[in-house]
Amino acid sequence: MKKARRVFLIIVIIIAIMMASSPLNVLAKPDSSGITTNPLIAGGTWTTGNEVDVTSLAASAPQWLQLLANGVKVTEAGKICHPFRGGQFGWVGEIRQYKDGEWLKLPTTNDWVPSKEGEFMSCAQAPAAGTYALFGYWIRLVVTVVEVPSFCSSVDWDEVMVTADGNILISGYVYNISVGTAIHFTVTDYFPTLPVPPLTGSSTVGSDNYFNIDTGISGGDYSSVTFTIYEESHNCQYENSVVYTAD
């Protein structure tokens, strides 16, 4: 089982390297109004104003920028925000104002609103009535290597799987740790992009080395949810992400 996991992990790494070395192509599609958007990067609507098609106007924007969503027309100054899921995966968003034939960059914040339990959004303060749009560009993510305690090499995870029986369940075996040790989960990604309660949770290892975590997350509400799991004693993490995919 462990050998098979290692082979699978090597294949995944090779595929990731090949994808990273290839040009990034983002699929765009028209929404119900016929306006082209990138729903996987910036799906959703502006928090205020009326959405407008700025496709032709976007041609005057800097060439390194890509139009990510419909534009918005507002009638007064104020804060404007747009969902920006791509900001979690290497995209940098810029909200710009169209004025005198140019797209003027506004100070833009790309972050969770109002907190990590909310939605990742791109926001700016519109200085006046007018037309605004969300542009963006992609940067290669920096991978941070975390030093794993030497003890973790002796922790043996086996038959880790995710199922759904109403709620999403994560189960498996873990050896060489004490009975009663807590096994924690953390949600790292989910689709659609709505708040998932809870984002963390835990169970304990039984006398037979088995653990079974009821995440409390309904399997019927999401197309996919990605978890990491780790044991509490030494923070030894299971080497792969655990992914639930709806049937």
The residue among 111, 138, 165 that closes a domain is 138
CATH code for the domain of 217: 2.60.40.10
The residue among 109, 138, 167 that closes a domain is 138
β-pair type (91-99, 130-138): antiparallel
How far apart CA 234 and CA 60 sit, in angstroms, is 54
Q: Residue range 219-229: average pLDDT?
A: 85
Measured at the CA of 119, the angle between CA 21 and CA 103, to 5 degrees, comes to: 65
pLDDT tens figures, 17-58: 444 443 333 334 444 444 445 677 898 999 999 999 999 999
Phi, psi of 192 (to 5 degrees): -70, 170
Q: What is the CA radius of gyration of the chain?
A: 22
Tell me how crowded residue 93 is: count the other CB atoms within 10 A of its CB.
25
pTM exceeds 0.75, yes or no? no
Same domain, 104 and 197: no
Residue 171 lies in a domain: yes
Q: Residue range 198-217: average pLDDT?
A: 91
Range of the domain at 38: 29-138
The residue among 138, 167, 189 that closes a domain is 138
pLDDT grade, residue 138 (50/70/90)?
Answer: confident
DSSP bridge partners of 105 = 96
Same domain, 40 and 113: yes
The answer to whether residues 132 and 95 touch, using CB atoms and an 8 Å cutoff, is yes
Same domain, 110 and 162: no
**Mean pLDDT, the chain, integer:** 81
pLDDT of residue 164: 87
Residue 58 lies in a domain: yes
Name the least confident of 36-50, 112-126, 144-158, 192-206. Answer: 144-158
pLDDT of residue 37: 57
